[in-house]
């Protein structure tokens, strides 16, 4: 038997033909829905709005503000993991106490009850926002009792703040311990570098300022020693020139002692240090000129010529005595010039040795100074971090980074559909479910079953058979040949 549905009339005939097949499931669904609606406990949802900030210690630019979104997201993820931790959940349940309808004899709270509570709350961002993008987030707790849901939300916030402060305290203690060790090592290194720098400075002695100037200027520029060296070199060149002039003058004077004509050919520049000798030279030249003039007009035996020659000889005698005195004076001046030249050479050699010593120590000294400055900066940075870590440790037990926005609220009604809505859903869904069972079960019925339900189908189609024409009923009678 094949059944086909061509319209609502066929569906009505099936419903009439098989009433138990769809009525029984429909009634069962309605009864089950009504029982669930009657026995289902109300579920209340308490929502607590929270806001989180960054630590103010170590954030001088914007205290309490996050530098970037990833930092805030990381902090919120940490808070989320702390809220899901077993210690926080167990302490919250233990402080609130068991529900009134608890029938278990196990110690409160059990592992199963802690697991159920972990699934009964969540942390969510504001509507339309992504988790970790805003400083505000919501702690949502569900329970069958309204007051208990509020109590659970409040206690869970308390435990979350306390646990997060403990984590901050432990982290700060760890940082303080690490920074203390780092600071000790930095102080030891700084003392070692300072001791080696002190040895180099003691080795330099009075030239420390010169060494600092060389190390700061990188070996360039004009220092005091360099300027003094240039002055000594200039004085030495002058002393050498004076000594050479005196030597040349001495040689000339010694030659003039044997031949006074040599003195007349001596440049006046050599005689600047001998004014008397220079005057005698000029007088001798004048006397010789006068004698020559007189000889041009008079005879050699003329009394004026003889007097001129006597004056010339007298000047020569005085000149010889002055030459002897001048030679002794020039010898003394030359010895003094030689001594000064030797002294300047010794001073210049000493100064060059000092400059060479400073040049050899410059690189080492500059390295030690840079090392001391670097380790000083490291120590200062470690001390600054130590102060910030101690400030974080102090604030961990006195200030909370999580703040509450108002008290937790549940709303005027429980969450989920109400009893009337469930009953309407059962009344609407029961017949639909029964019809579905009817349509699913008919194609799978065997032929024997079809023969058993055939009378019911005939009775359903009886109205249609009565409306047929007489010719049709005549055609339904058996043929005479078949009767025979």
pLDDT in tens, 359-412: 777 888 888 888 999 999 999 999 888 888 888 888 877 788 888 888 888 878
Structurally, how many domains does the chain consist of?
Answer: 2
Q: Which residue has the higher pLDDT, 170 or 291?
A: 170
Higher pLDDT, 288 or 356: 356
Query: Does residue 249 form part of some domain?
Result: yes
Q: What is the mean pLDDT of residues 90-114?
A: 87
Looking at residue 287, its pLDDT comes to: 72
Say yes or no: 373 and 458 in one domain: no
Does the pLDDT value for residue 430 go beyond 70? Answer: yes
Are 382 and 466 within one domain?
A: no
pLDDT computed for residue 155 by the predictor = 92
Q: Are residues 257 and 382 in the same domain?
A: yes
Q: What is the pLDDT of residue 4?
A: 59
Residues 378 and 240 in one domain: yes
pLDDT score recorded for residue 185? 92
DSSP 73-141: HHHHHHHHHHHTSHHHHHHHHHHH---TT----SPSSPHHHHHHHHHSEEEEPPTT--TTSSSEEEEEE
Looking up tokens 């974080």 gives 392
Q: How does the average pLDDT of the chain come out, rounded?
A: 78
Query: What average pLDDT does range 462-475 have in this prediction?
Result: 42
What is the extent of the structural domain holding 359?
Answer: 214-387
Spatial separation of the C-alpha atoms in residues 88 and 276, rounded to whole Å: 117
> Is the pTM above the cut of 0.95?
no
Task: State both tokens at 400.
Answer: 């909370």
Say if 247 falls within a structural domain: yes
**Average pLDDT, stretch 198-227?**
73
Domain check: are 350 and 466 in the same one?
A: no
How much is the pLDDT for 377?
Answer: 92
Q: Does one domain contain both 338 and 458?
A: no
- Whether residue 147 is contained in a domain is answered as no
Domain boundary among 387, 411, 428: 387
Cβ atoms 327, 254 nearer than 8 A = yes
**pLDDT value of residue 187:** 92
Is 430 within a domain? no
* pLDDT > 60? residue 480: no
The answer to whether residues 284 and 376 belong to one domain is yes
In a domain, 120, yes or no: no
Q: Mean pLDDT throughout 67-75?
A: 82
Do 277 and 370 sit in the same domain of this protein?
yes
- Do residue 377 and residue 478 come from a single domain? no
Domain limit, last residue, from 335, 370, 387: 387
Shared domain for 236 and 322, answered yes or no, is yes
Q: Are residues 378 and 455 in the same domain?
A: no
Q: Among 347, 371, 387, give the residue marking a domain's end.
A: 387
335 versus 292: the higher-pLDDT residue is 335
Give the pLDDT score at 210. Answer: 76
Using CA atoms, how far apart are residues 35 and 358, in angstroms rounded to an integer?
103
Residue 80: inside a domain:
no
Q: Does residue 322 share a domain with residue 457?
A: no
Please report whether residue 87 resides in a domain.
Answer: no
Q: In angstroms, how far is the first alpha carbon of the chain from the final one?
A: 30
Domain membership flag for residue 169: no
């Amino acid at each position: 038997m094949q059944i086909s549905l061509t319209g609502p009339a066929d569906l009505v005939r099936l419903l009439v033909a098989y009433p138990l097949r769809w009525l029984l499931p429909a009634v069962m669904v309605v009864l089950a829905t009504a029982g669930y609606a009657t026995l289902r406990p109300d579920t209340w949802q308490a929502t607590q709005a929270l806001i989180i900030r960054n630590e103010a210690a170590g954030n001088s630019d914007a205290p309490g503000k996050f530098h970037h979104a990833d930092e805030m997201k990381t902090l919120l993820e940490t808070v989320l993991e702390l809220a899901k931790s077993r210690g926080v959940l167990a302490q919250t349940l233990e402080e609130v106490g068991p529900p009134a309808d608890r029938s278990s004899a196990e110690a409160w709270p059990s592992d199963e009850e802690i697991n159920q509570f972990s699934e009964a709350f969540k942390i969510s961002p504001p509507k339309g926002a992504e988790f970790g993008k805003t400083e505000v987030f919501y702690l949502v707790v569900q329970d069958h009792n309204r007051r208990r849901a509020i109590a659970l939300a409040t206690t869970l916030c308390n435990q979350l703040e306390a646990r997060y402060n403990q984590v901050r305290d432990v982290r700060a203690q760890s940082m303080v311990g690490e920074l203390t060790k780092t600071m000790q090592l930095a102080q030891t290194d700084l003392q070692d570098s300072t001791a080696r720098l002190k040895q180099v400075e003691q080795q330099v002695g009075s030239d420390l300022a010169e060494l600092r100037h060389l190390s700061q200027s990188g070996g360039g520029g004009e220092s005091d020693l360099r300027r003094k060296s240039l002055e000594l070199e200039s004085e030495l060149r002058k002393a050498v020139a004076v000594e050479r002039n005196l030597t040349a003058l001495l040689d000339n004077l010694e030659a003039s002692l044997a031949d006074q004509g040599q003195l007349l050919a001596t440049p006046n520049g050599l005689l600047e240090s001998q004014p008397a000798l220079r005057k005698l030279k000029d007088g001798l030249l004048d006397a010789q000129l006068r004698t020559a003039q007189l000889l041009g007009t008079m005879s050699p035996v003329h009394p004026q010529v003889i007097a001129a020659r006597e004056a010339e000889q007298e000047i020569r005698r005085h000149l010889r005595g002055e030459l002897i005195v001048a030679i002794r004076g020039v010898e003394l001046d030359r010895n003094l010039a030689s001594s000064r030249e030797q002294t300047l050479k010794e001073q210049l050699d000493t100064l060059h040795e000092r400059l060479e010593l400073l040049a050899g120590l410059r690189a080492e000294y500059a390295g030690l100074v840079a090392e001391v400055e670097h380790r000083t900066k490291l120590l200062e940075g470690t001390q600054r971090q130590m102060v910030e870590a101690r400030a974080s440790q102090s604030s961990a037990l006195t200030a909370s980074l999580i703040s509450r926005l108002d008290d937790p609220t549940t709303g005027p009604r429980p969450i989920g559909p109400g009893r009337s809505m469930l009953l309407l859903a059962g009344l609407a869904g029961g017949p639909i479910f029964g019809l579905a069972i009817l349509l699913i079960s008919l194609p799978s019925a065997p032929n024997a079953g079809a023969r058993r339900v055939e009378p019911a189908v005939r009775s359903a189609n009886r109205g249609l058979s009565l409306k047929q024409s007489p010719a049709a009923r005549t055609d339904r009678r058996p043929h005479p040949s078949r009767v025979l």
